[in-house]
Chains A and B, each alone.
Chain A
Amino acid sequence: MFPAIIETERLRLEPRTPEYVDTFEVYEHCNRDAPHIDEITEYLPWEPHSTPNETAEFLERGAAARDEREGIDYVIRPREGEQGAGEIAGFGGLTFDWDTDSAELGTWLRKPFWGRGYSGERALALAELAFEQLDLAVVTVTHEAGNEQSARAIEKYIDRMGGRREGTLRNFHAGDPPVDAVRYSVTQAEYRDADPDQEGTFLDSDGESWP
């Protein structure tokens, strides 16, 4: 029901599953001693991995969620011509809430890939998938209150898609202490109206055009 490969001008997205991405390649970037890992995970809902087993489980959960149609997460790699082409730049995907006809965007990027506009490029491709192919009514995204960098990136692409900032939900994420989140949303009508000038290429696992 989902494309295996998504390509944008500068990025190639492949499923976050053991089939497409190697455990140790991911572990290198998300273990406790990975470069800038504390800065990267400061506002993220997960902790650096302590063992490669956690990374293997992370990839297996990605495959399971895809199978169950609960969510699709992709490993993000810069394409030929970009600095760091072929490397893991990060992950990004959609979590579905079919009951409310909506999906939530989520992403993280390694620090060398910050500031390039990759987050927006990935968001536009996934929103295109959510609205054009999956016919969802709403795409949402949240960031932790205080995460100025995410706020800037999100405001930019939400604006491009015609969406809006909804407000701050206090004590939204469990934790010690619980964390506030700022939520944004775009409707399908707003997205079509805004007609963002970007088109993704969707491919199946054989590299054929999808759907």
Chain B
Amino acid sequence: MTDLFPETVLTDRLRLERIDTDDADALDLYEHWREGAPNVEATTEYVTWEPYDHPHGVAETLSRTAERTENREGATYLLRPREGDPGAGEIAGTTGLFMDWDCRVGGLGVWIRKPFWGRGYSGERADAVLKLAFDRLDLELVRVSHLPENENSERAITKYVERHGGRRAGRFRNRVDFQNGTIHDTVEYSVSQAEWREADGAEAEVEFRD
């Protein structure tokens, strides 16, 4: 049986590898997710989770991630630049697709290490995940949100949502609570499958490998 979520996704410059609980991944990610890791304060400023104080915590997160994939509730991928891009083969970040089958919706998430900011990786990764969501999983809608004060995400998201024909829904108050107990508004966006098909973004070169 073919998995709903492909093991590997290739774009022009990125390789997405599905996380299937692997202690090696946990130790690799801990390097970037631990307290005191380079730029970890900047890269986790607007995410729901806090830097980790032990690789065990990362392993637990990965094992929950793998369980989610097994239950067909979503998938998380490691992002690695492909041959030819600076830092090829390194972990540049992670990205997730979280399913709400009853609403026929997928939610996007992404985390990227600071040395890889500004390369348009988030948009390229979004092209790939949208193709996965619409072409392969036949979802009706993909949604994504950022905190109102996160201008980097706002720029990146606005750009790819527009490219794919989607729209900004608005700012929603007291919409999420973070692991550290803080409560935040969100700015939300969505792209429908019909909008995506109409827009040129659907033409992005993406390869799925099972």
A contact residues vs B (CB 8 Å cutoff): 97, 99-102, 137-138, 140, 166-175, 177-178, 183, 185, 187
- Check A187–B140 contact: CB distance below 8 A: no
Expressed in whole angstroms, the minimum distance between the Cβ of A143 and any Cβ of chain B is: 15
- Check A100–B171 contact: CB distance below 8 A: no
Q: Which residues of A contact B170 (CB under 8 A)?
A: 166-168, 183
Expressed in whole angstroms, the minimum distance between the Cβ of A149 and any Cβ of chain B is: 22
Q: Which residues of A contact B141 (CB under 8 A)?
A: 170-171
- Check B174–A101 contact: CB distance below 8 A: yes
The A interface is mostly helix, strand or loop, or mixed, namely: strand
Q: Which residues of A contact B25 (CB under 8 A)?
A: none
- Check B174–A169 contact: CB distance below 8 A: no
Q: Which residues of B contact A171 (CB under 8 A)?
A: 100, 103-105, 140-141, 190
Complex Cα distance A174/B175, Å? Answer: 19
Counting residue pairs across A and B whose Cβ atoms lie within 8 Å, the total is 66
The B interface is mostly helix, strand or loop, or mixed, namely: strand
A-facing residues in B161-187 (Cβ within 8 Å): 168-177, 183
- Check A137–B174 contact: CB distance below 8 A: yes
Looking at the complex, which one of B100, B140, B183, B192 makes contact with A101 (CB distance below 8 Å)?
B183
- Check A102–B174 contact: CB distance below 8 A: yes
Looking at the complex, which one of B140, B143, B177, B190 makes contact with A100 (CB distance below 8 Å)?
B177
Q: Which residues of A contact B151 (CB under 8 A)?
A: none
